[in-house]
Structure 1
Amino acid sequence: MLSHRARNTLQALALLAGMAALLGLLGGLLGGTVGAVWALGLAGVLLALSPRIAPALLLRLYGGQPIHADQAPGLVRAVQVLAARAGLPQPPALFLVPSPLLNAFTVGTPKGAAVAVTAGLLRGLPMREVVAVLAHEIAHIRNHDMLVMGLADLMSRLTSLLSNVGVLLVLLNLPLVLLGQAVVNWDAVALLLLMPALGMLLQLALSRTREYDADAGAVALTGDPEGLMRALEHLEQRQGRWLEQLLLPGRRLPDPSLLRTHPPTPARIERLKALAQTLQPAAVPDWEPVRQLGPAVLRRPRWRPGGVWY
């Protein structure tokens, strides 16, 4: 377990270092050494000054409603037990999103986090698998993955911004180039165009690394790799059909591995099987099932300004 986590941590640090190097190189192309220092310094300042939106407020945008202990005592108790095992200062708040999709996600930090589960997840998976999914999300909280991915997203956005600035400067000086009064380093221009794509690929690779680490963390919290493997299989089957009907009706064309935010499900399951062989068999607790929560009519996500919202 330690070697697995250490390997994933080193991979995450290497990917973040690669993104920082791209940002610094881009700043250097635009302003030399001073430009590189300014680019990296700007990333640090923006990260420190970025607004901290309360998890409850953010989840309201998804139509999320708090889940209280009197509504789902078994679910709330499971979160409390997992948070205690993870060593979190306090259990994350639970929210229900009225969507038929099978999904769960996390916002916030270990000092104040929230886990959202959809009504479709609670209705579509048995309690053992729901707990495995919750453990995966709590592992993200323990690993500070929201902060890591926020930093990666910030560096990716800055890389794109500086690239656009560089291309704009080239276009503004194009008349001088045509008149022979200025010279353009076309190799540098090519780098300006390629760097946003390289930064995005590094960000996606980082996301996949964090998912593998959260899978391992979930198993450490539950002692039940089989539960997480079953949950992943069910999510793949159910979500795949819905996405295919929406985007690729009648055929299955998986995304190229470089363009996935999550690792392929078979690869995650294979890692979990290898991990299970190193663990002592553990008794699976008899988690209390969740009764029906939320409205009878569920909303599907819709395209709105800024992305997909419920």
Structure 2
Amino acid sequence: MLMGLAVMLGAVAWLLTGMAGLVWVLATIVLLGALRPRVPTAWVLSMYRAQPLPRWAAPRLHEVVDVLAVRARLQRRPQVFYIASPTANAFVVGRQDDAALALTDGLLRLLDGRELTGVLAHELSHLHNGDPAIMSLSDLVSRLAQWMSWLGLWSVVVSLPLAVDRASLVPLLLSFLLVAAPTVVTLMQLALARSREYDADLEAVDLTGDPEGLARALVVLENSDGQIWERILVGRSAGSDPLLLRTHPATTQRVQRLLALRAGPSRPPVDVNHGPAVVYPPVTQRPRLRRTGIRW
């Protein structure tokens, strides 16, 4: 993405100001890559109202996270957080030295132990590969492209009345190039996200030794109630979008790639049970849960 943006900005700068503008643009891109922003983990968790998930409430889940964190050679084991949402979702935020793994109530109720282990391994693989920082940088590049687009729109307004001869067409073409920048960068951003999902699937299988567990989880999530209601109300599923406009590859392709790994060598599977991942206590214990900060 940085290279694509550098080429686009460099072409515009070279056509406008020559070699000096090209040098300044390339220096800016290099500085942007070196000083990529770091959003505090607590900010992201507060947006989702995530609360720490104590070990006593999910002992098996914490044990699996411990094993996977060691296998992934993470600097620090990520803290586990709970989000009181019926949507089945899981994500990691932060970097290895300050990371958090967030799981929704819908995900914990939907998947069994084997399937949840595959999802946990997938998310920890994102963390091991530095994907949160990569996607944060891609988001910054996308915002920069949006600013370029606004500059291009204003330049179109100025250049269009002057486009009466061939010489004045050059600024107008440059303006249209700036306007098209967000679309190009967005397509690159989506392609980057899809490639990171494939890599996270591959490394998750290396961590768990169980490609079928993650494949089953993907199928269950694809056919979850949220997807069914979307098909009924909207008339299509999320997987029916064109590939270029999706952040995740098609589930069928991911499942096929995962099942193709069954014949290859793998680590010993993680020892998990097939019961509930979280102990949902009776009503009499709700005051204790409120003291721990979890909303039930």
Q: Is TM > 0.5 for Structure 1 vs Structure 2?
A: yes
Change (3 A) 1:277 1:130: same
Q: CA offset at residue 184 of structure 1?
A: 2.6
Amino acid at match of 1:273: L
- Greater displacement, 36-45 / 51-60: 36-45
Corresponding residue for residue 119 of structure 1: 105
Deviates more, 1:222-231 or 1:279-288: 279-288
Q: Which residue of 2 aligns with 1:24?
A: 10
Cα deviations by residue, 1:112-144 (Å, 9 ceiling, x for unpaired): 111111000000110111111011000000001
- The runs of 4+ residues in structure 1 deviating greater than 6 Å are none
Q: Does 1:273 align with 2:259?
A: yes
Distance in structure 1 (CA, Å) of the matches to 2:176 and 2:37: 34
Aligned to 1:305: none
1:232 Cα deviation after fit: 0.3
The residue type equivalent to 1:231 in the other structure is: A
Specify the code of the residue in structure 2 equivalent to 1:37. V
Residues 294, 139 of structure 1: alpha-carbon distance in 2 compared, 3 angstrom cutoff: farther
Range moving further from structure 2, 63-72 or 181-190: 181-190
Mapped pair 1:220 → 2:206? yes
Residues 50 and 83 in structure 2, CA contact (< 8 A), matched pair in contact too: yes
Report the equivalent of 1:240: 227
What CA deviation, in whole Å up to 9, does each residue of 1:152-209 have, x standing for no partner? Answer: 222222123123213312312444446x797132443432332221111111001100
Question: Are 1:262 and 2:253 counterparts?
Answer: no
Q: Which residue of 1 aligns with 2:277?
A: 290
Matching of residues 1-310 of structure 1 within 5 Å: 16-46=2-32, 52-177=38-163, 183-185=168-170, 186-238=172-224, 239-245=226-232, 248=234, 250-252=235-237, 254-280=240-266, 282-287=268-273, 289-293=276-280
TM-score by length of 2: 0.83
Q: Displacement of 1:104 after TM fit? A: 0.5
For the 8 Å contact 1:129–1:231, the answer to whether it is kept is yes
Q: Does the Cα contact within 8 Å between 2:74 and 2:128 map onto a contact in 1?
A: yes
Query: 1:252 deviation in Å?
Result: 4.1
Paired residue secondary structure (1:71): coil
Query: Percent same amino acid among aligned pairs?
Result: 45
Q: CA deviation at 1:70?
A: 1.9
**Structure 1 residues 68-77 or 280-289, which shifts more?**
280-289
Provide closer, same or farther for how the CA distance between residues 292 and 120 of structure 1 changes in structure 2, counting only shifts above 3 A. Answer: farther
Counterpart for residue 302 of structure 1: none
**What are structure 1's unaligned runs of at least 5 residues?**
1-14, 297-310
CA distance in 1, matches of 2:156, 2:95: 41
Give the root-mean-square deviation of aligned CA atoms: 2.7
The 3 A distance-change label for structure 1 pair 257 and 57 is same
In the superposition, the TM-score normalised over structure 1's length comes to 0.80
Give the whole-Å Cα distance in 1 for the aligned partners of 2:8 and 2:138.
12
Alpha-carbon shift at residue 30 of structure 1 (Å): 4.9
| Equivalent-residue separation in structure 2 for 1:192 and 1:53 (angstroms) | 28
Letter of the aligned partner of 2:168 in structure 1? Answer: V
With over 3 angstroms needed to count, the CA separation of the structure-2 counterparts of 1:200 and 1:242, relative to structure 1, is same
Which secondary structure state, in structure 1, belongs to the residue aligned with residue 223 of structure 2? helix
Give yes or no for contact 2:113–2:276 (8 Å, CA) kept in 1.
yes
| Range that drifts further, 52-61 or 92-101 | 52-61
Count of matched residue positions in the alignment of Structure 1 and Structure 2: 279
Letter in 2 for 1:88: L
Output the CA distance in 2 between the equivalents of 1:25 and 1:160. Answer: 17
Q: CA deviation at 1:276?
A: 2.1
Larger Rg: 1 or 2?
2
1:249-287 CA distance string (max 9 Å, x none): x44471000000000000111111222222358445134
